Amino acid sequence: MKVREKDILLGLSMLALVACSSDSEEVVRANDDVTPVNQPKEDELPEEELPVENPYDEILYDESLPYDQIPVLATIASGKTWVFQPEPSDDFNYTFEETDGRVDFGPNNKWYNFYHDLWDGPGTTYWKYDHVSVDGNDLVIRSSRRVIGNESEPRFNLPPKMNLPDQGVSTGSITGNNRVQWPVFVEAKVSVADMSLASDVWLLSADNKQEIDIIECWGGDENGNQLFSNVIHLAHHSFVRPPDFQDYQPRDLGIFYRRDGVSSWGEFHYNGGDRKYTHVGVNWISPIHLEYYIDGRIVRALYDKAVATKRGNEWTYGYPTMSNGVVVDTDSSTGFQALVEHSTSSSYSFDKLKAASDVSEVSIIDPYNYQDGGGMGTEKDIIINVESQTWQAAAGRIPTNAELEDPEKNTMKVDWIRVFKPM
């Protein structure tokens, strides 16, 4: 499979550019008009280098238990226990009908049916109030083709995004009314849409400067999206907001999670109409310590100045470097961020991760100090949404009308989301 190396890097740089604050009543669309302008040489993405998880022989979750009673499998300090936090958690075992207006919903008004700012989405996304519902079992976020002159609220009466009037995607976003703060474990049971749109569960600070992605997945393999449909993106962002916009995120190969036997997460979850789900979680231990979990197993960890990634049955520990004040961002053999390999192990070891961090001189969390030493420390909103992202739309990876009209494939579903604190 041939892809443009620089297009991949642009894609990585554009991932999750979906937080944009506004102090006015006008919608703000940062970076919506960014498109690839270079014509780089074609190169082959080194898929053999991407972390690959082996299929599981053992299912770790007892789904017969209520979601708040399923044991938490994340790392916890000695002497602590996980305590369920009911306010930001939800099993979605109720009904909420689509409505063409911004409303709170859920037990004790846990959510509202829009993004946390006056912004209706990146790329060719148009978040709509009436594309969110709860069907008694799942949160359901559906997508459809935006039709100018016949669209639901909100309508901002601005020119078509990216000058693509016929390629707009109406979809949904929800935001929690209860913020979360470290130390905390947030986990969701998710079935992504079987389209090239991004299905997302993420955490975002109120000032839009700190983001932690729990899952970002472009599920469908149509429209040239084969390359990205078989990965789950696990990353965080440290932003400087306009007018001097900056976005740091780790760009090593470990940000992409793959599982052997899954060629498309959308097809895997669609499962011929009998939807499957994947458990995704982040253990936000401190401002400089993050662990990512999939189906109860740790697959990636970051601590201060180093990162640990699982490849098959081996863990690799490494750290970034800088040259002339800039993170060394390209490994010539892969096109991704270069890391110095420190050590390996057959099982995850925080001691090895800390040892790698101790010899490193560059933060993996916020190397440019955009957060003034605070790392990922600010409390955050829980956001669940679907997006037609700028970098995907610029590459033509937008669902067709037929795909958007398929009620089985055009929905992201969340069975539950749960939050625990170590106490």
Show the tokens assigned to 136: 């008694």
Residue that is written with structure tokens 């060719």 in the block: 124
Q: Using CB atoms within 10 A of its CB, is residue 44 exposed (0-12), middle (13-18) or buried (19+)? A: exposed
Distance from CA of residue 159 to its chain's centroid? 28
Q: Is 216 a catalytic residue?
A: yes
The residue from 216, 222, 267, 291 that is catalytic is 216
Bridge partners (DSSP) listed for residue 322: 327
Alpha carbon dihedral 342, 356, 251, 170, in 10-degree steps, equals 130
Report phi then psi at 340, rounded to 5.
-85, 120
Q: Is 63 a catalytic residue?
A: no
Q: What angle do CA 111, 117, 122 make, to 5 degrees?
A: 105
The Cα 377–Cα 383 span in angstroms is 17
Cα separations in angstroms, 211 against 16, 202, 398: 9, 7, 25
Cα dihedral across residues 387, 391, 392, 393: positive or negative: positive
13 DSSP 8-state letter:
H
Show the tokens assigned to 234: 């696990």
The residue from 187, 211, 267, 387 that is catalytic is 211
End-to-end CA distance of the chain: 49
Active site residues: 211, 216
